[in-house]
Amino acid sequence: MTSAPPTPVPPSASLKKALKNKIRAIYRKSRRATVRTFFSYEPSALIRGLHELGIQSGDNVMFHSAFEEHHGFRGSIETLIDTLIESVGPDGNLLMVSLPYRSSALQYLEGLKKFDVRKTPSAMGLVSEYFRRRSNVLRSAHPSHPVLACGPRAAWFVEGHETCATPCGPGTPFAKLREAGGKVGFFNVSFAYFTFFHHLENVLQPHLPFQLYHDPPFDVPVVDRNGKEIRVRTLAFSRETLRRRRFEVLEAWLWKHGIIRRGRIGASSLLLVDLDDVMSAVDDMIRQGVFFYDMTAADAGQVTDPAPARRGLNQS
């Protein structure tokens, strides 16, 4: 009499997890080797790529960046920052955002005890945080939308942000970047990280059928770069703004009209926009009645917020 074969025992959950981790490790190692062999590049090549894309010596550029081994850049985060600074030259200025939260500005300010310009870390990635820690980098004293700047006009870009009525409107570093004919660059991040978008929201404010900002304003204790505690009165975007916001409408318009320039070097992606072109595009959108909000919802509760994680705007 032949006995039945033993019933196979399914692998345990821990064994499955270990196997998946091993496969991921092999994949990452293979990917790094491929990038290192075929798609890696020196800092000098990145500078050439940025210049070919449209950045010139003397430009004022706000960069949004991500740093990963598989992007192929041969150097550290510090070397990357040096390279970005070199790309704008000694007369140019490099800016980055250093928002200290990953939620919404409204939620952040509702629970904020104190913002310290010198110590509160940036939540905008390692490149932004390393840039913040540099001795020659200045940070604006705004609790929800602080901006970092390095260069001969750094002080001008960041000064007075704490006295502005809105976080990204008139008088802020965002408005000054526009005034200075600035550009916004993207290194290994999508256009969804276009924080200058919030300045554009101020431009559209008179045309909106809802309240752009939460009322009342927040009164926030802030420690400035000299260690002095001051009070900063600021607004945050309203919950209805967050629900109605449609960033993808702006992005699609800019791609369609050739405003966003795209480049690639090694395994890295590059994007660049000239803010003069962006402002002209928004003027055209206003004239044609195209807005990057849901303008039809009578009941804000019926409007849903579209994929904030994908947009990269931190619902700020």
Average pLDDT, the chain: 89
Let me know if residue 2 belongs to a domain: no
- What is the number of structural domains in the chain? 1
Give the orientation angle of helix 77-88 with respect to helix 43-53, to 10 degrees: 40
pLDDT at 10: 67
Q: Is the omega angle on the peptide bond into residue 216 within 30 degrees of 0, that is, cis? A: yes
Let me know if residue 5 belongs to a domain: no
Residue tagged 């009645």 (tokens): 289
Let me know if residue 224 belongs to a domain: yes
pLDDT at 304: 37
Let me know if residue 76 belongs to a domain: yes
pLDDT at 310: 40
pLDDT at 65: 97
pLDDT at 127: 98
pLDDT at 29: 53
Task: With a cut of 50, list the residues of the chain below it in pLDDT.
Answer: 26-27, 30, 37-38, 299-311, 314
pLDDT at 92: 98
Give the orientation angle of helix 197-204 with respect to helix 275-287, to 10 degrees: 30
Cβ atoms of 238 and 225 within 8 Å: the answer is: no
Let me know if residue 13 belongs to a domain: no
pTM of the model: 0.84
Range of the domain at 193: 41-310
